[in-house]
Amino acid sequence: MAELKGKILAGKILVQPQEAETKTASGIIIPDSAKEKPQNGKVVLVGESKKDEPMEVKVGDIVFYGKYSGTTLSIDGVDYLLMSQNDVLYIQ
C-alpha cells in the first residue's frame, strides 16, 4: 500500500477493511454472492481529536465496527471506509 497523502477531519478515521473470507473452516469455498461484508480492519489515517472528545484510535490499530458503519471510498484503486471514531465498537 502506498503512503496516503491527505488529511481527514476531526473525529474521523480511515480504515482499510480486511478481506472477506473465501473458504469456511471445513474448506468449502464461499461464492461472492454469499460473502459477508468485513466488520474489522486496520486504521490507516486518523483525524485530529475534537474539542471535547480525545482520539482513542491510532494508526495501525485493528478495529471492529458495525456492519453498516462508514462510507466507502476508493483511493488509488484501494477501498477504504471513512467513519467516525464513535462507530468503532472494539480496538484490538
What's the CATH code of the domain at 85? Answer: 2.30.33.40
Over 44-80, what HEC string results? Answer: EEECCCECCECCCCCCCCEEEECCCCCEEEEECCEEE
Q: What is the pTM of this model?
A: 0.81
- Residue 4 in domain: no
Give the domain extent around 37.
Answer: 12-91
Cβ distance 26 to 45 under 8 Å? no
Taking only the tens place, the pLDDT of each residue in 5-50 is: 778 898 999 999 987 667 777 777 777 666 667 789 999 999 999 8
Q: Is there a domain that residue 3 lies in?
A: no
In a domain? residue 7: no
In a domain, 5, yes or no: no
Our count of domains for the chain comes to 1
